[in-house]
Amino acid sequence: MGSAEAVLFEDKRLRREMTSGNMAFAEAMRQINPDVVAAYPITPSTEIPMKFAEFVANGLVDTEYITVESEHSAITACVGASVSGARVMTASSANGVALMHEIFPIAAAFRAPIVFGLVNRSLGAPVNINCDHSDSMPERDSGWIQIYCEDAQEVYDTALLSIRLAEHKDVLTPIFVCQDGFITSHCYEPVEFLSDEAVKEFVGLREAVYPLLDVDNPVSYGSFVTSEYYFEIKRNQIEGMNNAIRVDGEISGDLARLTGREYPPLDCYRTDDADYVAVIMSSATGVVKDVADELRARGIKAGCIRVRMFRPFPSKEISAALSGKKGVAVLDRSASPGGVSPLAAEVKSALYMSCRDGFVPVFEFIYGLGGRDLFPDDVKAVFEKLRAGNCGCGASYIGLRDKMGGGD
């Protein structure tokens, strides 16, 4: 423990506990003490509304907790409360997220800064409760910021900074704080928590513009808007989203001063001098970093980029980080059947405008659907394919039971 850190612990500004991603998010909720939480249980995010119900039952928060009858009503109640001027949080997964879909673009267009713990789980069918990103990826065009966390610590930190990011006047956009179901949500690992006072001070109070509850200055939400005005309203919303990278940088900086942990939109690991880079998101990143270390020890210049912020997508940053590379592998934990997988599509698109500076071959891989693990040997094989330039068109599958790799 460094000396600055030791001071923080002595001040009781930090405490370290073994906890899980779900518990870390719930603890952040307790410390944030939102005005309203409306939630409906679904595996693997259920622990969040359960734990929060305990906080409510024991008087540890002042929150109005609405135990709705469905996810659709959960997100609707969140929108109603957020538009009213309240600070609002919720959580869900998989089919619950899908049931909410209709309301996500409405929340975004209302500029309702809801902070949402999205615990990634495969979207049925077949029914499977384990992790992939097929629940959050269909929401990538719903107008919500999407941040994918690698571990429970990042879940906690991101929950805190998301309150300020979502509510920032230049952003006013709801946020999905994504973590991998079971892998991150249920595994216990050490997490550093700020003191309640430090969190209170960091998140401050929401200052809502045009709150519905201001009966002396009545406003109408959810109007019928014709083509004469619709486009400008959507433009404003899109620009709010685009501002999030800049504002996230500012708020992350503030948080880093408290915690020492920095969260740029891309987590670039040994990429500066790398020839070959694998791009991935969330909890499986550690496997890729380990393999990069191992390959480096064998003289192969391998690196890893973890995309933390997926919406807005840090196109400029990733284009700069990948230009001049001999080969890039994009590892997607969801598919877009019949099209390019979500992360690969973004990476390729970002590189398009820099291809005049030299073509960077990008290859697509699909891994981990329905919670299948990603093993170091799988990642080594990916780098081998990159080095051989032997990846073909279309996506290759990683770690299937049968040997049909596809792609080639």
Residues making contact with other proteins (CB under 8 A): 35-36, 38, 62-64, 66-70, 72-74, 76-86, 88, 102-103, 106, 211-216, 218-226, 229
Alpha carbons 239 and 250: distance in angstroms, whole number: 17
Q: How far is the CB of 103 from other proteins (least distance, A)?
A: 6
Half-sphere exposure of 279 (CA within 13 A, CB side): 31
Of 3 and 220, CB closest to other proteins: 220
Structure tokens at 6: 């030791």
Tally Cβ neighbours within 10 Å of residue 174.
27
Q: Give the burial class of 139: count Cβ atoms within 10 A of its Cβ; 0-12 exposed, 13-18 middle, 19 or more buried.
A: buried
Half-sphere exposure of 7 (CA within 13 A, CB side): 5
Of 63 and 134, CB closest to other proteins: 63
Residues with Cβ within 8 Å of residue 46, at least 6 apart in sequence: none
Alpha-carbon Rg for the chain, nearest whole angstrom, is 21
Q: Are 361 and 344 in contact (CB under 8 A)?
A: no
Q: How far is the CB of 78 from other proteins (least distance, A)?
A: 6
Alpha carbons 408 and 400: distance in angstroms, whole number: 15
Residues with Cβ within 8 Å of residue 304, at least 6 apart in sequence: 268, 269, 270, 271, 277, 278, 279, 280, 285, 288, 289, 292
Residues 265, 271, 276, 278, Cα dihedral to 10°:
-30
Would you call 58 helix, strand, or coil by DSSP? coil
Residue type, 34: P
Alpha carbons 374 and 367: distance in angstroms, whole number: 7
Residues with Cβ within 8 Å of residue 85, at least 6 apart in sequence: 206, 208, 211, 212, 213, 214
